[in-house]
Structure 1
Amino acid sequence: MTRRHTLTRSNIYPLSADKTRMLKALRFALIALAAPLAISACGDDSSSTQKSTAVQSARANASQVDIKLFSLNALAKQPEIVDCTLENGDDAQCAKLVVKYLPDEMEIGPFCPTTLDDKGGIWDWDGTKAGLYRLDKAFLTMLSEQGYIFYDEDGTVHVVDNATSRPTVDHACIQVSEDQDVKITVLIPTTPVMADKATPMGVVSKVGIALAGVPIFSDAPSVQHTGHLPALDTCAGHVDPGGWYHYHGTSSDIDSVYAHEHVDAECSNLPQDPAGLFGYAFDGVPIYGSVDANNVMPTDLDECNGHTGLIGDSGVSAYHYHSTNEFPNLPKCLKGVVAKNNFSTTAQAGVGARPPEGTNMSRNEPPGGGRPGANNMSGNGQMVPRGFADAATKLGVSETQLMQAMDDAGGPNADLAKVAKTLGVTDAELKAALPERPKH
């Protein structure tokens, strides 16, 4: 499963030299604008008005999505700027990107260890002794002491390809096979439009896309929810049930997390740059590493891990997100408005699945895609544990309402009395509708 190739910085940022020239030109432009202002301070207001307009334009350009920065290795077709409609109904311009299931020459894995003597990827454990761990003997034996047994007596780890088979054990390490035919289409507003209120990121919520051409999603499903562990590699990525690779962290700065959390791991498929641009969120806001343009970790980040400050080395200021040194090191919410129908794939299954008519269906998982009525996704793109869709139907609520009530009441160990009160049902009705918890 592990792909072993070489990915160079030039492949990920193929036009960085162009960007550097553009930014230098921008700085010279700003200096040029400032000079005549000093000379004509006693003149008419026209020069002042022109300067203000130019600076506002420079700020907008610095925060806009630059399609030239995306890796050529990932693109299935030339990116373009298209008309789109935002979720608030506004007409807008969007960057339209069509990317492959995996960028060419990108190394992914390892994911699940084969035996207790092997080292796999990583996992953010949310149970007793919570924290970020390497998937190795120490972690798996710790889970077994808590009743989550992922291996046989001889040390063989239960590894299952969830796209082609179902687990026959209570606890399996999930490692999904790739589908090389998959194409992914995303829409990102070229200029961010701030929303009236932030949109929180739940489980497997759509976050954005990396410059490497890899989609970005929020937290992976909890083992305590599903009983199984969808392993991440050391770049915080794994393969969706539809067969395409995606990140669950700011992978260009994930080594900072390992250093902070004392985890013996390093990312091999993306150059590490704590001050660099990782990608763009689905609201068009850029996502940077954990330090600002002065290589200092910001102390004024808001609830979404964002703030208004200098954008890279552009010399201008605009709103942007930063990663943190704790996993998952992604924006915790989105401040801007996203585009309608902003994510779809040709995959047979999983998030955003829209298989072409006549596709020979060979994947095990049902299509998903963050749309109401999907078998494994809620209306806002959160993954719904097995049985929760049926439970929501029995209770007369939406999957989103049920998942939100569960999250608000404690997540995997939710206080069911609080959930029942929130949903307006009795404790008995709720307990009868919910699926059984995974066995330990």
Structure 2
Amino acid sequence: MNNDLLKIAFISLFLFLTACGGSSDSSTEVTDSSAIDGSDDTSDNDDTNDSSDDDAQNDEAGIDVDATLFLTGENVSIDTVSCTLMNGTQTLCYEITSKHTAEEHDMGPWCPETIYDTAEEGGLWFDKGEINDLDGAFIENLATYYDDPGFKMYEDDGTVRRMETAEECAEGADPNIEDKYTNMCAQCLPEWVSTQVTYLIPITPIKQDEPVELSDGPTLEVAGVDYGPSVRGLAFNGVRFDHPADIDIILAGYQIAPVDDAGGHVNNSLGYHYHGDTGMTTRIEQSDSHAAMIGYALDGFGLYAKLDDNGNEAEDLDECRGHSDDTRGYHYHVLSLESNEFLDCFYGAWAE
């Protein structure tokens, strides 16, 4: 692997670990927790929806966001605010402030300590359309798995080379990285990062006539394309459903950046976030065997699991993986973790 490719790889990995969200996201990082009053003001929704672009809207109805489904408390707070959507509609949004902390499941583990560790000591690695337990044996056999002898992510005594401190996590993603951070399992622990991010989600979603392609993050965007947000939505615990991981760039630096069994991991700027649905977050089961609800997309439409209670996938999904029914209105069904994607376009208008 030449030095130019390695340099590009680490610059891109730095972006991946420190800026998983694109600049077009309806989110704001808050560093002073006293700026959020923690109130749960969700009762001010009225029927006022002033649209300046009615011709571009679709009559297919969505269901209002139910703020009571979120796990509000120390890590998540919700207020009702005025907002303007990307199509010019002035309406009301829920302002959801999150510390990106999962309460209903453990965060981690990610990288095993030795090549002798079992799957319980490691997380998951998704590539080639499959999910692998990141146990010690998988680390030991990376060179075979990728048919690349450049992989050797462990010492002669079997110790896995992994990020062990917050300093290593930061330096390991620096564009001017030292050689010692190649062939390393990349992990940042939740206690190393303190974050608070605010998101706007329209209370009453508005479906547009045409979909908008979502950003896949800074390393995968194509110049000249007008993308939508990189954040797909929020789980009920307030943790964000993020854009795809740039697996090729990570591998080019001879690194692995695993997720835990819930499909999440941590970066330096946003803290914990999800790259896939594995069924471990809070789920709202449906009485008609429809797939469970797992959160809300950033455009206000509901996010549901890929499969229903009988293990079947809906057959009438549009290009954004959405469809409508009388109970849930228009809503999306996410892909599973091995796809490295939740969904790649919105039909709804998000808040700017």
Q: Check if 1:327 corresponds to 2:338.
A: yes
8 Å CA contact 2:125–2:134 kept in 1: the answer is yes
Displacement of 1:194: 2.7
Displacement of 1:202 in angstroms is: 1.5
Find the aligned partners of 2:232 and 2:154 in 1 and give their Cα distance: 33
Using the aligned pairs only, state the percent identity.
Answer: 31
Q: Deviations over 1:31-72 (max 9, x none)?
A: xxxxxxxxxxxxxxxxxxxxxxxxxx9x95x62111111002
Q: 1:325 to 1:64 in 2, by over 3 A?
A: same
2:171 — aligned with what? Answer: 165
Q: 2:199, 2:131 → 1: CA distance? A: 30
Instruction: Return the alpha-carbon distance in structure 2 between the equivalents of residues 299 and 133 of structure 1.
Output: 28
Shift of residue 170, structure 1, vs aligned partner: 2.0
Q: Contact conserved, 2:306 with 2:333, CA < 8 A, in 1?
A: yes
> CA separation in 1, counterparts of 2:237 and 2:346?
21
Say which SS state the counterpart of residue 241 (structure 2) adopts: strand
Residues 60-106 of structure 1: per-residue CA shift (max 9 Å, x gap): 5x6211111100246443x1221111223332221111122414574
SS state of the match for residue 308, structure 1? Answer: strand
**Of 266, 269, 275, the match for 1:239:** 266
Q: Is the 8 A contact 1:163 1:242 kept in 2?
A: no
Are residues 155 and 213 of structure 1, via their aligned partners in 2, closer, same or farther at CA, if it must alter by over 3 Å?
A: same
Question: Structure 1 residue aligned with 2:276, among 249, 255, 267?
Answer: 249
Aligned to 2:71: 71
Correspondence for 1:183: 196
Between structure 1 and structure 2, the one with the greater Rg is 1
Compare the two structures and name the one with the higher helix fraction.
1
Q: Answer yes or no: is 1:304 the counterpart of 2:310.
A: no
Distance across 2 between alignment mates of 1:95 and 1:272 = 20
Q: 1:276-355 residue pairs with structure 2 within 5 A? A: 276-292=292-308, 296-310=312-326, 316-325=327-336, 327-328=338-339, 330-340=342-352
Superimposed CA distance per residue, residues 337-375 of structure 1 (whole angstroms, 9 cap, x where no aligned partner): 2211xxxxxxxxxxxxxxxxxxxxxxxxxxxxxxxxxxx
Q: Are the aligned partners of 2:301 and 2:330 in contact in 1 as well (CA < 8 Å)? A: yes
Paired residues of 1:144 and 1:150 also in contact (CA < 8 A) = no
8 A contact 1:279–1:286 mirrored in 2: yes
Does structure 1 conserve the Cα–Cα contact (< 8 Å) formed by 2:306 and 2:313?
yes
Contact 1:177 1:243 in 2 (8 A): no
SS at 2:142's partner residue? Answer: helix
Q: Relative to structure 1, is the Cα distance of residues 326 and 113 closer, same or farther in structure 2, using a 3 angstrom cutoff?
A: closer
Q: Deviations over 1:181-202 (max 9, x none)?
A: 4211111111222343322352
| Structure 2: 5+ residue stretches without partners | 1-58, 219-229
Superposed CA RMSD in Å reads: 2.9
1:45 — aligned with what?
Answer: none
Contact 1:159-1:175 at 8 Å conserved across structures: yes
Provide closer, same or farther for how the CA distance between residues 215 and 137 of structure 1 changes in structure 2, counting only shifts above 3 A.
Answer: same
Aligned partner of residue 117 in structure 1, secondary structure: coil
Equivalents in 2 of 1:290, 1:276: separation in Å? 9
Instruction: Specify the code of the residue in structure 2 equivalent to 1:285.
Output: F
**Alignment-mate amino acid for residue 337 of structure 1:** A
CA distance in 1 between partners of 2:74 and 2:318 (Å): 32
TM-score (norm 1): 0.53
**Secondary structure in 2 aligned to 1:224?**
helix
Partner residue in 2 for 1:140:
139
Question: Aligned pair in 2 of structure 1 residues 294, 307: CA closer, same or farther (>3 Å)?
Answer: farther
Structure 1 CA distance, aligned partners of 2:183 and 2:298? 33
| 1:103/1:296 CA distance change after superposition, 3 Å | closer
Q: 1:188 to 1:181 in 2, by over 3 A?
A: same
Seen in structure 2, the aligned counterparts of structure 1 residues 293 and 101 have a Cα distance that, compared at 3 Å, is: closer
Is the 2:182–2:253 contact (alpha carbons within 8 Å) kept by the matching residues of 1? no
Q: Which amino acid aligns with 2:68?
A: K
C-alpha separation between the residues in 1 aligned to 2:169 and 2:282? Answer: 26
Partner of 1:123: 125
Residue 320 of structure 1 aligns with an amino acid whose one-letter code is H
Residue identity matched to 1:323: V
1:306 maps to a residue whose letter is G
Give the deviation of 1:241 after TM superposition.
1.4
Q: Which amino acid aligns with 1:68?
A: T
Per the normalisation by structure 2, the TM-score is 0.65
